[in-house]
Amino acid sequence: MTHTSRSAWLAAGLLALTGAAQSAGNVDPLRLQYEREKADCTTGRTQQPRAACLREASAAYALARRGRLATPGEQPSELARNALKRCEAQSGEERSLCERRVREGVVEGSVGGGGQIKTLTVRSTDIPKSPGN
pTM: 0.40
CA dihedral 125, 128, 132, 133 (to 10 degrees): -100
Could you give phi then psi for residue 55, rounded to 5 degrees? -60, -45
The pLDDT of residue 88 is: 94
**Predicted confidence pLDDT, tens digits, the chain (133 residues):** 555 566 666 666 656 665 555 555 567 888 888 899 999 999 888 888 999 999 999 988 888 887 777 655 566 677 788 889 999 999 999 999 999 998 888 888 776 677 778 888 888 887 777 765 5
Size (the chain), residues: 133
The pLDDT of residue 25 is: 57
The pLDDT of residue 98 is: 92
The pLDDT of residue 47 is: 85
CA dihedral 15, 21, 22, 23 (to 10 degrees): 110
Can you tell me the distance from the alpha carbon of 32 to that of 133, in angstroms, rounded to the nearest whole number?
56
Helix 3-24 with 29-43: angle, nearest 10 deg: 170
